[in-house]
Chain A
């Protein structure tokens, strides 16, 4: 239980990041390598925002700013490459990731920034006989609420319908009068927003933010998205919980604890080789 609870909590946080990967991949067929860094930037913005304003202002502000950042990245770095091969867009994503990390390094001066304590989240509580922070319990609930909301949006609203159409067939939906750019921007806004929520929850468990702290959670979340079946939202959530729980359980055994990340990637390679479409993924047929 002592390891299961943090695992579920970490899984929830990865789920929020993984949804961003899955949504973007579903529509653009792009692995958004910069997503983990957007997550890190959200953490840093929180650090700077709380030094000037109270928490109840800074949290919503950071969520909005991160969404704007995601929108901006898409417009600046991915939109000009829409008609070029997928590999160039992926390289552009790697470039953005490099830029964000270096920018963060410059602004922070290479020092680890102490993350503000959100009192409500970091108070300790006792549940099922094990003591933990409140964030551990709140995360899965919040994730569930957000995911249900997201699924409802995608199923019943006009923009959600447009997103589904675009992910099914890019060109045909364009012919049907769907504004592709609006849909793609909406995807990035939603993805970045969720990553910002995830960053608030994630960094509450860690003392500080450094420019590279987005890379590892980003990669783990990506693995989660692939394990669950990239392009599928429930898949991303399930995959994230699998990754989070496995990581936490392995960390609990001292002899093999350094292999927690290696295991995550091993899981990725095994899944890719056995069932590349993941648990919930749809089968893709390549046409000549």
Chain B
């Protein structure tokens, strides 16, 4: 019986890895055939960025049960740290043009190193703020982390920090994957592929953490703190670990966001951004990694792309004066409210996407359900006669 189980789970592992490989090949094909400004490319890049952040938030909110709303703050830390080190030397003076004396940072790092550094800085700040804040209970923690994010947002725009953060001016003209890979054999695959790979690695690491003993401890804390403590789990240690890890990946997500936009300013990292990410997690299912990824895809694709018609006056062939600027977001928030109120578990609940299970579903559909219907129809026909 046990052997059967492991071989089954191994089969599903291989199938899922196969599906992932297929997705990767699809991304490569998209890269090779599309232009950098295509909507599909932009959407997929943003989906990768948001997927990292949503999964990191899910690690904290869904798997450890710590309701934190500081994600935008950690993203901002990651984005700024990364951006400072990837402004090309030739435009540095121009970007810091309004700051007296220009930039004081004269180091330029490769993209990957800068991204990692962004994550590390976010993690460091998470460790420091976590020391006092993680003692708080559920909603107090949410508010304190929200406050922290707002504080960070103000501090980076401080004029005294101008030589580092460019004050209230954006850090623009950043290096991108496209530019970095120019002239190398990978040039063709520099649109979505780098985002996909980095996001994939981050999410894989988070999955591995969740499956380790640490992950089990996190889940125990989520389900019952007191019982977990009684079982010998060090609450403070594990909560801090979860918080720091989650912030590390939020920082990486922020750094990717900076590269995606090729510029950073403090303005977009408001609490509204955290709310968006939280809603992605809710739509996908709190406690489901694949749900968060799916949620990011649906959220970004519909808000940036599919529902665009609602703004420009024509949607699904219907045109109406109601469809003007902003209507897209109204429809979108109504859909979200429907999810929050009626499908509280989200798309995936706490389940994970599994090719074998979906295969099993279809198999069942064709071997049991459909023949069942046919049988019923036959019975009915027989009865009619």
Contacts and interface: CB of A to CB of B under 8 A. Distances in A.
Interface string B223-250: 0001000000000000000000000000
Contacts, number: 122
B154 A226 contact: no
B143 A102 contact: no
Interface in B129-154: 132-133, 135-140, 142-144, 146-148, 150-151, 154
Most buried by B among A86, A266, A268: A268
B235 to A, nearest CB: 14
A91 B278 contact: yes
A18 to B, nearest CB: 13
A61 interface: no
Interface string A74-108: 00010011001011101110111111011101100
Interface string B153-177: 0110110000000000000000000
A145 interface: no
Contacts of B341: 77, 80-81, 92
A96 B147 contact: no
A52 B147 CA distance: 40
Given A94-B278, A97-B275, A106-B329, A269 B334 contact: no
B271 A215 contact: yes
Nearest to B326: A106
A92 B67 CA distance: 14
Interface stretch (A63-71, A123-131, A202-210, A254-262): A254-262
B189 interface: no
A95 B144 contact: no
Contacts of A177: none
Interface of B: 67, 132-133, 135-140, 142-144, 146-148, 150-151, 154-155, 157-158, 226, 270-272, 275-276, 278-279, 282, 324-327, 329-330, 332-334, 336-337, 340-341, 344
Given A92-B341, A219-B150, 5 more contacts: A31-B142, A77-B340, A86-B139, A90-B142, A264-B147
Interface of A: 29, 31, 77, 80-81, 84, 86-88, 90-92, 94-99, 101-103, 105-106, 109-110, 212, 215, 219, 222-223, 226, 258-259, 261-262, 264-266, 268-269, 272-273, 276, 288
